[in-house]
Structure 1
């Protein structure tokens, strides 16, 4: 069925509704926010409830374990997102500037380190630290899809979407 979350598809709607429901489910949000990594997320009751809900909508019909691991990482990170901003890709959000500040939300060096994440655990850890710098604003489904598809293509897409700071010549 589906390994991609889209707003007009049942699986995307289910994930978006679940994320919106976290506002009133502080206990689940707290459990997910405290999870040290995707494995802890996967072993949590809030994740397992969502997982069953997504399965009913057609999630991962071929039972690819790596996709379940990546979904767990996405769910754990979504608990740190404060505002779903459709159309605001993770890389665009990382390169936003705060009012009155010339610095990017996520520095060039930190962004490059994030792109060098050796596995989904390292990526989870890096993104968990970066989300507060982005004021917790990102497209929830775009972040989820990028984590599910993490690899060279997503890294390149992020590199092109990130607004690299201009270098001044001396």
Structure 2
């Protein structure tokens, strides 16, 4: 038995997720069902998730999720139905770039306020709604891996990584693996 959430780093999973997301363009009924979901629980109990995503994941990549993994993965899967284009940058990096393009006029910008509110969220239902709004704010364009991993693992460590990626200038960030 592998560690909880270990499949997220699996290249086979990432390939399946990308193929599945691309398939949403053709399967508009499934996409619409996921877009109507108002919470991760709505996604979890949807036909699109239970009868398409999860069986496809097992069939295409051999990954069988435990119940808690299914529940945690429902959040990013539901949000992915709102994504139209993919970005190479992580979500906080993309938001930081948006902030740099539209510098504030002395006060905090809307991007700063949005990021602060997002980083304060601990409730998964609230996170689901906030992330859908964030996807819209970002012109329906996000990084598939960043969204999936962050939505799955929305913890204090995830919020800390997002804050560092957003607020700290790239040249000031610690190198990966540094604990300083």
**TM-score of the superposed pair, with normalisation by structure 2:** 0.78
User: Which structure has more helix as a fraction of its residues?
Assistant: 2
1:5 positional shift: 3.1
Q: Distance in 1 between matches of 2:40 and 2:109?
A: 25
Instruction: Mark the CA change 1:148 to 1:93 in structure 2 (over 3 Å): closer, same or farther.
Output: same
Structure 1 residue 148: Cα displacement: 1.4
Partner of 2:118: 114
**Post-superposition shift, 1:100?**
7.1
Q: Is the 8 A contact 2:99 2:111 kept in 1?
A: no
Instruction: Give SS of 1:107's match.
Output: helix
Q: Deviations along 1:66-94, whole A, 9 cap, x unmatched?
A: x22221111110011111123x1111222
Count of aligned residue pairs for this structure pair = 161
State the distance in 2 between where 1:47 and 1:111 align: 29
Report the Cα offset of residue 99 of structure 1.
10
Tell me how far apart the structure 2 counterparts of residues 29 and 146 of structure 1 sit (CA, whole Å).
21
Normalising to structure 1: TM-score of the pair?
0.82
RMSD of aligned Cα (Å): 2.6
Structure 1's unaligned 5+ residue stretches are: 166-170
CA contact (8 A) 1:80 1:131 kept: yes
Runs of at least 4 residues of structure 1 off by over 2 A? 1-6, 55-61, 93-106
Larger Rg: 2
Q: Which residue of 2 aligns with 1:51?
A: 54
After superposition, what is the alpha-carbon deviation per residue over 1:15-65, rounded to whole angstroms, capped at 9, x for unaligned? 11000111111111111111101111111111121112223424454x142
Q: Give the distance between the partners of 2:131 and 2:34, measured in 1 at CA.
A: 14
Give the aligned partner of residue 168 of structure 1. Answer: none
Is contact 1:3–1:60 with CA below 8 Å preserved after alignment? no
- Give the corresponding residue for 2:174: none
Structure 1 residues 98 and 21: alpha-carbon distance in aligned structure 2, compared to 1, 3 A threshold: farther
